[in-house]
Structure 1
Amino acid sequence: MRILAAMSGGVDSAVAAARAVEAGHDVVGVHLALSRAGGTLRTGSRGCCTIEDALDARRAADLLGIPFYVWDFSERFRDDVIDDFVAEYRAGRTPNPCMRCNEKIKFAALLERAVELGFDAVCTGHYALLVDAPTGRELHRASDAAKDQSYVLGVLTAEQLAHTYFPLGDTPSKAVVRAEAEARGLSVAQKPDSHDICFIPDGDTRGWLAEKVGTATGDVVDRTGAVVGSHEGAHAFTVGQRRGLQLGVPAADGKPRFVLEVRPVSNTVVVGPKEALATAEISGERHSWAGAAPQTDAFACEVQIRAHADPVRARATVEAGRVTVVPDAPFDGVAPGQTAVLYLGTRVLGQFTIDRTLSAVPVGA
């Protein structure tokens, strides 16, 4: 196969490209330039798309003896990931930029260009398994549960899965990948993993959003609507947050309060007891299936609402374009804007963006 290897500059994508070469594929490496900030370096940074990363990717490609290119996707990344991130926070939702990047950049813009250029598949260093079944290609959890990235890949469609290649999916651990990189002479063998949001390299999401969205004083209220404090911008709060609430009125029971809801139109933050974070139902209209769609409109599954959350047994229904999930045991602290990924065993069925939640604890309870 002709393989386009997306090389981030990290150890995972370098080893994935090496395995593709070793398997006899015709491999070309490409690094995605997602920012035009010319002086960006990893020093003090916690991102994954810096100039240093591009140089690391080039060195790995040179060692593997494959052609290497840098493609400028900065405008598409700004429009589809960064602007979306800001818009979601403005709307009082909690977005996952890694999901949007996989959906809009790595497996949409990049894959589209790859197919146009005659490549059969895009290769990445994600930890997930692809299984060719009678009904088509399926996406499954990786062999190493600790590194499994099937959650953030839940946005992939059947067409995208057909042109995807994950050489690391059955690797038993990250330690094995690092040891292999060392044995191959790859300079990134011990390079630290990237984390946090790549376009906020210092990790200060609250400060970054304040610059983009601005600040505006608003009320913090309890579930009855009584004002218990104030804030400088609702965008700075997420459901489940406990710290930094600056409440002037203590709870009657003396227990800590948590953010239960963010209302951007009125610039209001709603707080309440931890018990009120229990969520009895979630739903959303923006959804997709990772391969063949379920054969029925109601089915049992497991649902994961965060990248590293434990899956929860649930019942899902699809009606009038909306997916609704009722868990066997309530979810804890679900925020609109989060992604719910549906599983059947190890297989990813699909995903939806949560836009409605129903608390398991009614007001006054």
Structure 2
Amino acid sequence: MSTLQISLAIIGGLVLAAVVAYNAWIARKSAPRTASERGHDSRFHATSRFEDTASPADGNLQEGVSGRIDPVLGDGFEGMSGGEGMADEGHQAPSRGGPVTLNQMVNPADKKAGLDALIDVIIPLQLENAVLGESLLGALPGTRRVGSKPFAVEGQTPTGEWETPRTGQRYRTLQAGVQLANRSGALNDIEFSEFVVKVQAFADAVGASPDFPDMRAEVARARELDAFASAHDAQLGFTLRARSAAWSPGYVAQHAYRLGFLAGSLPGRMVLPGSQGHAPILSLTFDPQAAMADDPEQSALRDIALALEVTHVPRSEQPFVRMREIASFLAEAMDGAVTDDAGHLLSRDTMDHIGADLESLYDALDSRDLAAGSHQARRLFS
């Protein structure tokens, strides 16, 4: 074999080795990023407690994102337009906090239903004699809804408090109510008539005398409340998109856990618990099919969604500030960009404008005694 042939063979071997190495590098780069061995379980099952979690409120996350998030506010709340991209800035990891349990997410006392003249039609029911809670429960209609609106009956305790009838308690005064409006719309004539029929049947069964209000006045009140709610309903959504390599569900969950998120009851959903028993502040979601895959670490995610139900979270939680900090931190930590649904980056000015508009919305809700995060607000905006 000549020197030329040997040289060509060596060059060919080197080229082949380079091609194999390049293909291996490309395959590795295109593979989804996975959780580190020290990270949490990537299979995304709900658990009652996660150790080593932290909240952005515990560690002051620095501001700034390379990217932008899609603001999606409800009808009637204007002023959310796209802007120019932000420059990347460094972020500090949040400090470690104590363990967070799922029991902290909802205050059991806050689950208690309570009729409120602000958002309900309430009909007094006068009883001839005291009635046991067992009898009242047995006389309730099969469904606790009137059309698309919640229907409820309450009894007054000896201390003057209203509660859902319960066994072992005697009641001398009752009231029935139906919600004036929710996200399905305002209470209409047909629903009001159905409500009257249900209340009359219940009253006849327990020996009570109902005092019905004027239908036209209540329906008009429902329409006015619905108009206000439609103009002030706000649901804000950001999208975090991968810049280069995709993410695995475990990789996303590992970073979210460090910020205090917990696995939700649905695959591909995580929630950031509120303080003092309030409803979750934020939700983080991604493709549920990827979360349920046989091997989630091989599932590739190109984007995740961060959402805030503005009317469901108290202003005191500073939900938008925390949402903005969390989005910035995740974008920096996972090499992502915060965008809107159309993929446009959000500028710092746009973020500031959204925050100012949200403050105006909070003020409007407060003026109607429907403060964001209150029991009445969560019922109305549901």
Identify whether the pair has TM-score above 0.5, normalized to the shorter chain: no
Higher gyration radius (CA): 2
| TM-score for the superposition, normalised by structure 1 | 0.24
- Larger strand proportion of the pair: 1
- Larger helix proportion of the pair: 2
Higher relative contact order (CA 8 A, sep 6+): 2
